[in-house]
Structure 1
Amino acid sequence: MSGGPAPDSVLVYVGLDLVGDGLMKLPFVRALRNACPDARIVWLAGKGRSVYSGALAPLVDGLIDTVVEQAGVGLGWDELRQPALAGTPLAGQRFDLVIDTQRRVKTTLLLRRIPHRTFVSGAAGYWLSDRRPPRDHRRPPAMIRQMLDLLEAATGKPAVPTVTRVADPESAALADRLLAGRDRLVGFAPGAGGRQKCWPLDRYVELARRVAARGRTPVFLLGPDEADWAARIRDALPDAVLPLQDPAAGALAGSPLLTIAVAAHLDAAVANDSGGGHMLAAADIPLLSLFGPTPPAKFAPFVSRGAVVRAQDFSGDGMDAIPVDAVDAALETLLAAARHGHR
């Protein structure tokens, strides 16, 4: 690390991690382990639970050593009456590096009490931080880029979120079975938390038809809210694969881990601004993201190879402004770049 020896212990503070949070933060977790390969890394969820100790635990196996959730840390001034981290499994411990990922000044002041050698926080423009970005730094809109900036401030080096292909063995084996005998796979995640963020399904079908005509196999990843689209897709595309609707998927059909395991088999994928898009990104495959009412600068998934098509580029804000031809061309460009190893 810049300015001192590499840390033997790192504590990362978050409020809590829901599934979407955990997926978006994965590049930071990977970059942190790359920057501190030998450190003991503790993930402290001070205000709630963390999926890193539950549903997404296999994705951080070997990257995070300890997850402490619902710690009751960083909540209020009454904590000043006790030593830092009192009442948690971390009581009495000191950390070489503490990274505060939230920006509430009150919480940051409470966290600075944790015994440390170096404390890094972006709160109040890094005012309470021992290390800061360059003077000309401007806070980026994307949450994951903000977190990577914290790591770069701490280490003085670029953050490198290289993917370690960590997967739940059960999900990986099931994905192998569901896709057995298939190759040249291209994924499509047509759903989203709000239908206003969905590119029309008939355009996904038309795009998949073109992809199939070029000798590739369409793979549709449908969540529970899109399950009623399955029959329509199968009627239009008899050779398409719908692995999450396969009876063999069983109880894992709704698991993010299975979606990520399936994604690891794909040559590329297309998704809306959605949780499904972030699950695909967790496998770090070439990803084309479609945006309309939400800003890609803030919400686009973080991948090594990615591209964005915006409705605004076609004089509209609604997803129906995006033409199939534009998405088709962008997907082929992404596939060609991936084949030739370009970022």
Structure 2
Amino acid sequence: MDRSWPRLDGVRRIAVLRPNAVGDFVFALPALHALKRTYPDAELVFIGRAWHRAFLAGRPGPVDRVAEMPALPGVGVPPDAPADAHAIALFIERMRGERFDLALQMFGGGLYSNPFLMQLQARLTVGMRAPDAPALDRWLPYREPINRRLALLEIAGLAGAWPGPLPMPELAVTAIDRAKAAQALPPGAGERLVILQPGATDPRRCWPPERFAALGDMLAAEGAQIAINGAPAEAALVQAVAGGMRHRAVVLSGTPESGGLDLGGLCGLLERAALVVSNDTGPLHLALALGVPSVGIFWLTNLLEGMPLRPSGLWAALSVRTRCPVCGQDNLAQRCAHDVSFVDEVSVDEVAGLARAALAASAA
């Protein structure tokens, strides 16, 4: 299969389908930048979720506009989720009226997403294809595990886009972001801010909270200001870390109205950080996109999938456990029913050593 595709002429509007979570959006940034660099005069429309629309509104970058799609079974929600057929039909009709020149499927193997993309009737459709998915005009075979950023860049290549120098930061921080961060945590002279991120959507990727607490105490004793961040649903976890520390830590786990941070405010705070220590979750990848030195605690294949294109900013602690400590089932091919940590074999001393190395490198 010839994979050297020329730039398409007369491109005025590009659709990118990727309605998923924060880390997944960050993985797409190199591909989005490549598309915008190749087609600078085209409008890039990101088909995503409500949080994409709120987060990207007014934010400089490769995305010009977000089209918030309704819940579509198999595309952003489970295949058996209820669907509003009328809302889906209206959205497809509206997107078809945009007369896209390029439409890129950047959401999985395409069993559900490829038929949706094809209904937009773009001049050219590209993306990945699992064996059971319909073919787009240009496609690549879908495989796992794989580096997500590189895979999405390869999809952009099917549309004639190839990367030049990756900007740093990859993601713009706005004055509004900085103001929100300052309201939640006023900046101090000479602050040496370390942000701990103890949550993750998959409990198997969560380092135990008592180890985050022990690490926080070590770094606080060495002069760092510790902030513990989490989504509102992770408030109990954040409090467990803070409650397990002897030193004072700033807790940032509520809604913006209760002193927490929205996603933009988190970017404003991450920009000020000397270090982020995190499980493999969205805020870690935001920090890496912003060029913040980061220690990531990874479970095996997640490191391959989430490795940034600039690996010098990441200090990775890796657990190679594959079998559930409760039932013994191998979780590489199929997940068992137990929500236990698969990264608890990573020691506090290992993460502390990586954290000190990252802080020393950023101060050099």
TM-score category (smaller protein): 0.7 to 0.9
Rate the CA distance shift 1:16–1:89 in 2: closer, same or farther, 3 A.
Answer: same
For residue 44 of structure 1, the aligned residue among 42, 47, 52 is 47
Alignment of 1:318 with 2:323, yes or no, is no
Alignment of 1:265 with 2:268, yes or no, is no
Alignment of 1:300 with 2:300, yes or no, is no
Q: Give the secondary structure class of the aligned counterpart of 2:315.
A: strand
Mapped to 1, the partners of 2:241 and 2:135 lie a distance apart of 55
| Alignment-mate amino acid for residue 216 of structure 2 | A
Counterpart in the other structure of 1:123: 129
Rate the CA distance shift 1:252–1:166 in 2: closer, same or farther, 3 A.
Answer: farther
RMSD: 4.2
1:123 shift after superposition = 2.0
1:225 shift after superposition = 3.8
1:86 shift after superposition = 6.5
Q: Relative to total residues, which structure has the larger helix share, 1 or 2?
A: 1
Stretch deviating more after TM superposition (152-161 or 218-227): 152-161
Stretch deviating more after TM superposition (321-330 or 157-166): 157-166
Rate the CA distance shift 1:196–1:170 in 2: closer, same or farther, 3 A.
Answer: same
Structure 1 portions without partners, runs of 5+: 76-84
| Alignment-mate amino acid for residue 226 of structure 2 | P
Alignment of 1:193 with 2:201, yes or no, is yes
| Alignment-mate amino acid for residue 204 of structure 1 | F
1:310 shift after superposition = 1.4
Q: Give the secondary structure class of the aligned counterpart of 1:212.
A: helix
Alignment of 1:286 with 2:285, yes or no, is no
Alignment of 1:241 with 2:250, yes or no, is yes
Provide Cα deviations, 1:157-198, integer angstroms capped at 9, x if missing partner.
336542354235433202134132152222111122344432
Counterpart in the other structure of 1:81: none
Percent identity, aligned pairs only?
21
For residue 173 of structure 2, the aligned residue among 138, 156, 167 is 167
Counterpart in the other structure of 1:79: none
Alignment of 1:216 with 2:221, yes or no, is no
1:156 shift after superposition = 5.6
| Alignment-mate amino acid for residue 53 of structure 1 | R
Whether the aligned pair in 1 keeps the contact of 2:125 and 2:137 (CA below 8 Å) is yes
Q: Give the secondary structure class of the aligned counterpart of 2:103.
A: strand
TM-score (norm 2): 0.70
Mapped to 2, the partners of 1:94 and 1:231 lie a distance apart of 49
Whether the aligned pair in 2 keeps the contact of 1:74 and 1:111 (CA below 8 Å) is no
Whether the aligned pair in 2 keeps the contact of 1:187 and 1:221 (CA below 8 Å) is yes
| Alignment-mate amino acid for residue 65 of structure 2 | T
Whether the aligned pair in 1 keeps the contact of 2:209 and 2:241 (CA below 8 Å) is no
Alignment of 1:176 with 2:179, yes or no, is no
Structure 2 portions without partners, runs of 5+: 75-90, 326-340
Whether the aligned pair in 2 keeps the contact of 1:6 and 1:36 (CA below 8 Å) is no
Counterpart in the other structure of 1:157: 162
Q: Give the secondary structure class of the aligned counterpart of 2:272.
A: coil
TM-score (norm 1): 0.73
Mapped to 1, the partners of 2:193 and 2:114 lie a distance apart of 46
Whether the aligned pair in 1 keeps the contact of 2:110 and 2:134 (CA below 8 Å) is no
Mapped to 1, the partners of 2:348 and 2:283 lie a distance apart of 20
Mapped to 1, the partners of 2:353 and 2:58 lie a distance apart of 33
Rate the CA distance shift 1:215–1:179 in 2: closer, same or farther, 3 A.
Answer: same
1:128 shift after superposition = 4.8
Rate the CA distance shift 1:63–1:73 in 2: closer, same or farther, 3 A.
Answer: same
Counterpart in the other structure of 2:213: 205
Mapped to 1, the partners of 2:350 and 2:162 lie a distance apart of 37
Rate the CA distance shift 1:200–1:38 in 2: closer, same or farther, 3 A.
Answer: same
Mapped to 2, the partners of 1:131 and 1:87 lie a distance apart of 23
